[in-house]
């Protein structure tokens, strides 16, 4: 070193600082790189993505090369700097101390903190080109890495740590949900809503999406023929359950088009309707929605009737009901109960029927009413009050204030809801 001029020695130290910074920035960017995003870049054919992916398959060797190179350089820099200080200032303790402190400061700032912050902030822009330099370096230093890893492996065996048994990290549903929520700037609101609903669908049963018994449109074969014909003319559905006297005595499912075709032939009678019935399909309460959707797909069914353990009908489910949980309601949905609304008015109020399903109410009015227990607003109010109200009652559930307006046959028939304050709604969504 003494034969080199001072400027050359300082230039060498600056180069070593940059080289150390390269190892630090490469380490930070490689570790911060999103593996799923990297696979996407490989499919797009981005330059350097495949090389980076190949290096990350051998993380332990990659880190060995980076750490060995970084530590050797960070050790060499103080040695060279001390030699320069001794030749320039002699054995002056103050000068040596200042030189040592200055070199340590330069290493920390230019070779450690700054490169790692930059690498973690822009991993893709740095890791992909850096991999092109690290790949040949790994091949060149393979004997050195092998020698060092001999001691590392021995130490791991002494500590009884087997890295081969380390489980591969997989994202859970909650982690995926968090990723979707944090991607608000990249995924449109409607698409994000569908993805979140899809995650929820795994925990739903047919009871959560069914049309409740009180809202089912069905035909009673004991009714007069004129009434049945009028009901068929004004029907909103392609298929109707048919019962006799009691809705628990389901005879079958009628295709409305077949019934109307028979009517045009002037042959429609009670017996004709009975002959047109298809075998009803019953599903026990609590059946998972995914399982039921798979059955609809495999057997080309379009309707199932939900029954409890006593054989009593609770409601019905169609594929459209399940799809509505994902994308929202269709415009062809059957009209709602008279006197109810589906949005807040100018005063921030909304009158709804007690039979309104809670999940549907949350979706329409952007509420956060609990859906783990009762399925309808009437059931939720009765569960909270623990008694049947005998007059006007006001209560608040999850930030939503509501007022009981009408009671009929021991059930809450009509409720007025008041829009929660914006701050409360935001807190519930966190």
Q: Is residue 109 part of a domain?
A: yes
**Per-residue pLDDT at 114:** 92
Q: Is residue 173 part of a domain?
A: no
Across the range 305-334, mean pLDDT stands at 80
CA angle (154, 158, 160) in 5-degree steps: 110
- Considering the domain architecture, whether residues 155 and 19 belong to the same structural domain is answered as yes
Which CATH number belongs to the domain containing residue 240 in this structure? Answer: 3.10.580.10
Q: What is the pLDDT of residue 342?
A: 67
Residues 16 and 159 in one domain: yes
pLDDT band for 305, please (50, 70, 90 cuts): very high
pLDDT-derived band of residue 168, with 50, 70 and 90 as boundaries? low
pLDDT tens digit sequence for 54-105: 988 888 888 889 989 888 998 888 888 888 888 777 777 788 788 888 888 9
Q: Is the pLDDT of residue 263 over 60?
A: yes
Residue 161 shares a structural domain with residue 214: no
Query: Is 353 found in the same domain as 323?
Result: no
Query: Has residue 342 been placed in a domain?
Result: no
Q: Are 332 and 232 in contact, with CB atoms under 8 Å apart?
A: no
What's the pLDDT band for 13 if we cut at 50, 70, 90? Answer: confident
Query: Domain total for the chain?
Result: 3
- Whether 127 and 223 map to the same domain: the answer is no
Same domain, 26 and 158: yes
Least confidently predicted of 58-72, 73-87, 247-261, 415-429: 415-429
pLDDT of 169 > 70? The answer is no
Residues 160 and 20 in one domain: yes
In a domain, 291, yes or no: yes
Identify the DSSP state of 376.
Answer: B
How far lies 64's CA from each of 101, 120, 134, 177, in Å?
28, 19, 11, 35
Is residue 317 scored above 60 in pLDDT? yes
Task: Examine the domain organization and report whether 310 and 354 are in the same domain.
Answer: no
Tell me what pLDDT residue 340 has: 56
Domain end among 327, 361, 389:
327
Q: What is the pLDDT of residues 198-215, one digit of tens each?
A: 887 778 889 888 888 878
Is the domain of 322 the same as that of 354? Answer: no
Confidence (pLDDT) at 267: 67
Helix 6-32 to helix 123-140 angle (10° resolution) is 110
Residues 61 and 150 in one domain: yes
403 lies in some domain: yes
CATH code of residue 422:
3.30.465.10
Give domain status of residue 343, yes or no.
Answer: no
| pLDDT range class, residue 422, cuts 50, 70, 90 | low
Output the pTM of the full model. Answer: 0.57
pLDDT digits (tens, 9 = 90+) for 103-123: 889 889 888 899 999 999 999
Same domain, 283 and 156: no
Domain that holds residue 283: 204-327
Looking at the fold, whether 67 and 161 belong to one and the same domain comes out as yes
Q: Domain for residue 316, yes or no? A: yes
Whole-number Cα distances in Å, 190 to 193, 195, 327, 328, 332: 5, 9, 8, 10, 20
């Amino acid at each position: 070193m003494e034969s080199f001029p001072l400027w050359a020695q300082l230039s060498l130290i600056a180069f070593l600082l940059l080289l150390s910074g390269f190892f630090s920035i490469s380490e930070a960017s490689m570790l911060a790189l999103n593996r799923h995003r990297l696979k996407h870049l490989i499919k797009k054919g981005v330059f350097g993505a495949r090389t980076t992916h190949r290096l990350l398959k051998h993380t332990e060797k990659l880190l060995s090369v980076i750490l060995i190179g970084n530590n050797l350089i960070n050790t060499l820099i103080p040695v060279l700097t001390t030699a320069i200080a001794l030749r320039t200032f002699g054995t002056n303790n103050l000068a040596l101390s200042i030189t040592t402190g200055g070199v340590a400061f330069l290493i920390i700032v230019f070779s450690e903190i700054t490169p790692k912050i930059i690498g973690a902030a822009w991993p893709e822009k740095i890791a992909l080109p850096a991999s092109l330099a690290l790949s040949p370096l790994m091949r060149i230093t393979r004997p050195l890495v092998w020698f060092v890893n001999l001691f590392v492996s021995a130490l791991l065996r002494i500590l009884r740590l087997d890295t081969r048994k380390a489980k591969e990290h997989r994202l859970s549903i909650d982690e995926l949900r968090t990723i979707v929520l944090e991607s608000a700037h990249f995924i449109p609101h409607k698409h994000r809503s569908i993805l979140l609903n899809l995650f929820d669908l795994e925990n739903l049963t047919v009871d959560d999406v069914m049309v409740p018994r009180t809202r089912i449109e069905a035909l009673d074969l004991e009714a007069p023929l004129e009434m049945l014909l009028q009901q068929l003319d004004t029907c909103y559905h392609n298929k109707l359950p048919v019962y006799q006297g009691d809705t628990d005595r389901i005879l079958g499912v009628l295709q409305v088009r077949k019934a109307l075709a028979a009517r045009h032939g002037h042959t429609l009678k009670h017996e004709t309707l009975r002959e047109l019935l298809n075998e009803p399909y019953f599903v026990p309460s609590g059946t998972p929605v995914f399982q039921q959707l798979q059955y609809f797909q495999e057997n080309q069914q379009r309707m199932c009737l939900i029954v409890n353990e006593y054989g009593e009908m609770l409601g019905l489910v169609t594929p459209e009901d399940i799809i509505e949980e994902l994308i929202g309601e269709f415009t062809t949905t059957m009209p709602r109960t008279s006197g109810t609304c589906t949005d807040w008015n100018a005063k921030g109020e909304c009158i709804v029927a007690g039979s309104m399903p809670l999940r549907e109410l949350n979706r329409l009015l952007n509420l956060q009413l609990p859906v783990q227990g009762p399925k309808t607003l009437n059931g939720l109010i009765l569960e909270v009050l623990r008694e049947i109200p005998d007059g006007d009652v006001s209560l608040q559930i999850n930030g939503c204030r509501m007022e009981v307006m009408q009671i009929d046959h021991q059930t809450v028939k009509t409720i007025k809801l008041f829009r929660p304050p914006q701050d409360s709604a935001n807190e519930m969504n966190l």
